[in-house]
Structure formats: structure tokens, C-alpha cells
Amino acid sequence: MGDVNYEKMVARIAQSANLDLDEIKRRVEAKCAKLSGLISKDGAAQVIAAELGINFENEMFKIDELIPGMRKVNLVGKVINLFPVRTFERNGQENKVANMIVADETSNIKVVLWDATHIDLIEKGHVKEEIVVEIRNANVRDNEVHLGSFSEFKVSSEQLSEVKTEKVLKEKNIVDFNVGDAVSVRAFVVQSFDPRFFHVCPECKKKAVPEGDGFNCNEHGKVVPEKRALINIVLDDGTETMRAVLFHDTLPKLGLSELENADLLLQQKQNILGKEMVFSGNVRMNNFFNNPEFIINDLQEINLDELFASLDK
């Protein structure tokens, strides 16, 4: 299950350095081996590029070519979702941050603005949804494009009619997961834990907290809550294991439905061990354990016809 981004990256490096593609891949593998797996192939490729004196400062990238850790990247995209500007306090000073989703014909990505001059373009209405923007000298962090005071952000005259608005899932091995990735992976369930229950507001589905003899929602006040559950599992795809989280609506798809009957749930948990499925979702940092975890949004049985067809190719 090769990483398309990695293949594009090494192809770019080979072309810029006028070296054979296999030679670049060999150097990447050697760098990974030297660092004992502490660096991903994507990261090793960027190190090799730097060692060869290659930078991409003047090149325009498509969104699906961006890799976490890239610096000084340039791109053009259409704003498909613009979030309200937020204020926060740091060192006694009030600051602003703006978030948006920008898309081109290949993919879409979250863009974060930290500079007041850039944010001013939003507040004055120059940048809004459906406007095409040009971004220069930005950094890619956790699959987000971040612009600071040294970055450029302006309205572009370029026309982008067909852009990719749906969330783009990348097929990746678990060992190559990065925080912020939207990914799918074929993996086995190797461990499962007991459910944890919580309550949500029936209106907004946000967490409802116990208050007195009832429950309270920040937005809707006193509510009669809905009881929900989540279960942690561990996935293994042969390259690495990772802790994953399944929420209420996805649990029955895995075969976990008897959440409050201990004996039946124990049987169901045993039945899913060793089960192989295609899991899709987002990789985020679990601040309590200080390690990445996989938030599963959907899971599918393996389509054997599609699998055989891909193996034939």
C-alpha cells in the first residue's frame, strides 16, 4: 500500500538532482536504517533533499503533494470553508487566528493564518468562501498549512472551477501515519477494551455534564441526555500497532452491540479478535497518553473482488 505522496516526493528530488529514482530511494532507505526507524520515509526524503541542496521555494505545489514537515511551500487554492476568526490571549496580549479549508483539483487542506495582516483580508471581506487565494512561504505542520508573518497570502486571479471538496482519505500503513492524517488502512483487531459511557445533549450532540439531579449542556441548559459509548481497540496491519477509538455509531459495524450485558459483550469482544477490515478516520494526538491515536469514522468489510483486482495490477 504505497504512499502516493512519498512517490511524488522522491520523483521530484530525483528530477531536481538529476539522479536516478532508485538511487534516491536507496538513500532514503539508508537514512531510515541509520536513524533506526525514528524517522518516516517522508521525513527521510526531505533530509536527503536538503543534503543535495534542493529546495522547493520557487515551485508551486498541488495540495496532494504536501507532506508534513515541508517548509517554504507555495500553492493556489479555492476557499471552500471559512471559519470565524478567533481571539486568544498570549503573554497578556490579545491575538487572532483564522482557519479555513482550501482546495484544488487534487485535494483539500486546512490553512491556519496567524498574521494580523492576513487575517485583515478576511475581516474586510476580501477573502471569503469561493475566493481563490495564493499562498507562499508557508509551512506544513500535522497536515495543516500554517502562515506566519514571513508568509504571503493574497487573492489570486487564477480560475479554479473543479476542486475536490470531499475529505480525501489516503491509504497508508500504520507505521506511516502522521498526526492530522485522514487515512484508511486494512488491519486486524488484536485487542479490545471495555466500553466507556458518557452523556450528550440530544440537540447538539455535545457532552452533557452532571449538575444537581440532572444534566446540563453549555448551549441548551438543562437537558435529558442521550447515553453514548466509546470503545478503544488496538489495530495491527503488519507494519505497526496503534490504539484506535470507535464511537457509538460505528460499534455495531464491528459487531459490538451488547454494551451493557457483560457476558454477551465478552463473547462479542472475543469474536472480533483477529477480524480484518478496512478502517478509515483521522489520526490525532491523545494528550493524556501523549501519543497518536486513530479516531475511526467508518469501517468496511474487505471487498475481495477489489482486493484481487488490485493484486492483479
| 209: β partners | 216
Domain range spanning residue 192? 170-312
Say if residue 113 is in the same domain as residue 8: no
Three-state secondary-structure class, residue 259: coil
242 C-beta neighbours (distance < 10 Å), count: 21
In order of 175, 220, 247, the CA distances from 242 in angstroms are 9, 36, 16
Q: How far is CA 276 from the centre of its chain?
A: 22
pLDDT tens digits for range 215-236: 888 888 888 888 888 999 999 9
CA 48 to chain centre: 25
- Say whether both 22 and 86 belong to one domain: no
Q: Last residue of a domain, which of 149, 167, 185?
A: 167
Q: What is the number of structural domains in the chain? A: 3
pLDDT exceeds cutoff 80 at 101: yes
- Residue 174, pLDDT > 90, answer yes
Q: CA-to-CA distance for 176 and 179, rounded, in angstroms?
A: 10
Residue 163 shares a structural domain with residue 175: no
Same domain, 208 and 281: yes
251-286 pLDDT per residue, tens:
999 988 888 888 898 998 888 899 999 999 989 888
- Mean pLDDT for 191-208 is 88
Provide the 3-class DSSP secondary structure of residue 164: coil
Q: Which of 3, 22, 151 is nearest to 65 (CA)?
A: 3
Q: Which pLDDT score is estimated for 310?
A: 61
Cell 472475543: give the residue.
270
- 103: domain CATH number? 2.40.50.140
Task: Mark whether 200 and 150 lie in a shared domain.
Answer: no
Check whether 57 has a pLDDT greater than 80: no
48-38-17 Cα angle (round to 5) = 5
1 pLDDT above the threshold of 60: no
> Is pLDDT above 70 for 103?
yes
